[in-house]
Amino acid sequence: MSATAPCIDCPRQSRCLGGLLVEGMTPAQMQSAGVSRSVLDKGEHLYRIGDRAEHLYLVRGGAFKTYVVSADGDEEIRGFQLAEDIVGLDAVCNPEFRANARALSRTWVCRLPIAAVRARMLETVQFRDRILSALGHEFDRLHGMLHRERCSADQRVAAFLLSQLDATITPGGEIELPMSRVDLGRYLDLATETVSRVFTRLQSRKVLRKQGTRCEVVDRDALCALA
């Protein structure tokens, strides 16, 4: 995990949490505050459960999974974070991370020092509200997971695909599925085999078309009807 220079000339600065954060800072101030960027290789951990939470992160490219390992050794995946998502929001509420974050592929992140974030929350209403709203979205996501886990296998997969579709910037039915079937199962709380069967079914019903790591949603309405 190698760190590089911060956001001073980042084209996304104005639309970014970091933008609000570093507004008015000189490069030197940023540097000393600890704003920076990193790249992680596939499989590398961004942080582990119990680590002192000193940064939160913005995904620039690639993807993470956040997960915990239960008492009986099973990996429970709590979320996937793709480009533009925030990882490690825990850090705002807790001194330590409550989950592990691991790169699913080569992944780029911006790191925002949590001390600066907390300080800025006291300074500007706009920034405080930006953080609170991010927390609100995280609550919504968790409530969504809770709802999804009360549905049938078909519905879980359908709901997941739709959420990916919504989260994707590119229009059209193309979505990125950087996670393995195993990980998807661990996220949806389904056996790998069940996930696989649902995908097969959706493809034979011409709802979906699979192409390697990507996949095309041919019949969005059918998915909505399911979920």
Residues that bind DNA (CB under 7 A): 152-154, 180-182, 189-197, 199-200, 210, 212
Residues 81-100 that bind a copy of itself (CB under 8 A): 90, 92-94, 98-99
Tell me how far, at minimum, the Cβ of 192 lies from DNA, in Å: 5
For DNA, the closer CB: 189 or 219: 189
The answer to whether 101 and 148 are in contact (CB under 8 A) is: no
Whole-number minimum distance, CB 182 to DNA, in Å? 5
Q: Which does 138 bind (CB under 5 to 8 A by kind): a copy of itself, DNA, none?
A: a copy of itself
197 binds, among a copy of itself, DNA, none (CB under 5 to 8 A by kind): DNA
Q: How far is the CB of 223 from a copy of itself (least distance, A)?
A: 14
Name all contacts of 31-34 with Cβ < 8 Å and 24+ positions apart: 31/5, 31/6, 33/113, 33/115, 33/116, 34/111, 34/113, 34/115, 34/116
Q: Is 143 in the site for a copy of itself (CB under 8 A)?
A: yes
- Cα torsion at 52, 53, 59, 63 (round to 10°)? 50
CB 165 within 8 A of CB 176: no
The distance of closest approach from Cβ of residue 73 to DNA in the complex, given in angstroms and rounded to an integer, is 12
Nearer to DNA, 210 or 220 (CB): 210
What is the nearest approach in angstroms of a copy of itself to the Cβ of residue 218?
Answer: 23
Pick what 122 binds: DNA, a copy of itself, none; C-beta below 5 to 8 Å, kind-dependent.
a copy of itself
Contacts to a copy of itself from residues 104-123, by CB under 8 A: 118, 121-122
Near a copy of itself by CB under 8 A: residue from 26, 126, 133, 200: 133
Shortest spacing between CB 218 and DNA, in angstroms: 16
Task: Tell me which amino acid residue 219 is.
Answer: D
